[in-house]
Amino acid sequence: MNIIAAILVFGIIIFIHELGHFYFAKRAGVTIHEFAIGMGPTLFKKEKNGTVYSIRALPIGGFVAMEGEDEESDDPNSFGKKTLKERFLSIVAGPLANIILCVLLLIPFYAIVGFPTTTLDIVQKNSPAYSAGLQSGDKLVSINGNSLDSFNDVSKLISGSDGKELTIRYKRGSEDKSTTVIPEKSAGKYVIGINPKYKTDLLKAPKQAIVSTYQISKTMLIFLGQLVTGQLSGKIMDSLSGPVGVVNMVSKAATTGILDLVFMTALISLNIGIMNLLPIPALDGWRIIMLIFEGLRGGKKVPAKIEGYINGIGLIALMGFMLFITYKDIVRLFFRN
């Protein structure tokens, strides 16, 4: 059942991504040959109005096959014949659909689970906060003179402290108090050993979902930047997961409950959205860069054949990387404790 849940999660995320491409391409009048969920051999297909709708065996991707997307075409309804705006919307809609899905999933998550406040729930023993005298129930007011509107502000100021001493003002009951604390580094970031109390508020859940999506996106981009520049340690590199590893994580989330599964689905959807916006050949981000380049050149296109070759090379490189990560997933899953 957990494997089925994982396949459904991937199917929903892929469907939403490809639906974004499909909707705006159809709206622009592009001839679409196939709308596919999955890759590899076809398990099911149905043709309607000239478009084949199919489900394929491997739930690791999908595609919308548009006339003239990777080759020259004389069809007036081909992708290449549409305006720059229409083509841009057709491409960017896929990743944006994944990001929007993340927000939509996080709204009910925060509506039920709640969101972190500046009131402390747990102060971990022998932590910097514990040594500084902070207790459960204390309400943090400011850090180094910066007022705190949410626990996101707390996390940002602590993680950005570089381990330097922080002055924390807080309320304990009706008393105003102050203390100093020196953050310690744990798992690559600075912490002081506190956990916030959570509060449910249906009206604030949408805002929290948007804020969380933005902050997680920012963290992902920072991680990718460090990955590209070689700033990450070998151990962190070894923890990178591909399809097998992600299926394993989704399966575990399904075991622990529906809310964990919803949150994991939101994270994966956001990850796919962000990754597809990267300017790497074969990804949507590369096509977006090419369209921007075309606009800067006054509408002069890069020949579709050349772009198709570049995307083909990029796809081969991505598939090779995916196979490598999948191999590491399998080794980690079956041959390590």
Residues serving a catalytic function are 18
Chain Cα centroid distance, residue 221 = 10
Rounded-to-integer distance, Cα 123 and Cα 102, Å: 31
Rounded-to-integer distance, Cα 231 and Cα 125, Å: 32
Q: Which residues are within 8 A (CB) of 79 and not within 5 positions of it... i.e. 6 or more apart?
A: 25, 30, 66, 67, 68, 69, 73, 87, 90
Chain Cα centroid distance, residue 66 = 26
Rounded-to-integer distance, Cα 246 and Cα 174, Å: 47
Tokens (6 digits) for 329 = 């997933």
Give the start-end residues of each E strand in the chain: 32-48, 51-66, 115-123, 139-143, 146-147, 166-172, 175-181, 184-186, 189-191, 194-199
Rounded-to-integer distance, Cα 153 and Cα 212, Å: 12
Is the Cα dihedral 330, 334, 335, 337 positive or negative? positive
